[in-house]
Amino acid sequence: MSKKVYQNAKEALHDVKDNLTYLVGGFGLCGIPENCIAALRDSNVQNITCVSNNAGVDDFGLGLLLQTRQIKKMMSSYVGENATFEKQYMNGELELEFCPQGTLAERLRAGGAGIPAFYTPTGVGTKIAEGKEVRAFEGREFVLEKGITGEFAFVKAWKGDKFGNLIYRKTARNFNPMIATAGKITIAEVEELVETGTLDPDQIHTPGVYVQRIFQGTNYEKRIEQKTVSK
């Protein structure tokens, strides 16, 4: 069990490499693995294919990797908060694969469950379905979508134990549970790391069998993506 525990993100990401697929948890700026993203930036790995619900904002989250031009392709459902992303994409410097949000979640879940592909009605008759197999079931058309896996998966949890069992807090339990299952090497950063056996088994969202490395993160900013206040 102790072999899963690392001191920090730099140690946990010691073997990241160029030209790999990285799965990154979070939704907007909620529940993102901030320490892992910063360590990935500092590692200077290149030609990243990044699978995440969104691309962060210009100076935070995955926006940090766009600033340094380490990402060659994004697979996302939403990228509207990032001007750096827009500029690189419009200049032909960044590849993009758009995926409907629910389909993206299911592709990750399927990949983690060992399911190679599945049919969904979402996207039929649109650009999403172009070049993909479409079949009719009971009079309705469905498009074939492939499961997603990655060489590395980065997730953020509220609490974790030394075996890798994870508990997410409120809306931070977004894409993290699916992504945790879909990485060949899943690295979890947690706000609080506790001894194995401390967590209530009924409260665990990601079993430790899916997690290969874990560390207690530091300096969480917890930014608000768009702050709105009343007058």
What are 82-102's pLDDT values in tens digits? 899 999 999 999 999 999 999
The predicted structure's pLDDT at residue 2: 64
The predicted model gives 150-154 an average pLDDT of 98
pLDDT greater than 90 at residue 222: no
> Distance between alpha carbon 151 and the CA centroid of its chain, in Å?
12
What are 11-53's pLDDT values in tens digits? 999 999 999 999 999 998 999 999 999 999 999 999 999 999 9
Which top CATH class is 2-116+147-216? alpha beta
The predicted model gives 111-120 an average pLDDT of 98
Please give the residue that has the higher pLDDT: either 80 or 144. 144
pTM: 0.95
Inter-CA distances, 94 with 27, 48, 86, 97, 114, Å:
21, 11, 9, 10, 29
The predicted model gives 98-126 an average pLDDT of 97
Inter-CA distances, 46 with 15, 51, 68, 194, Å:
13, 15, 9, 34
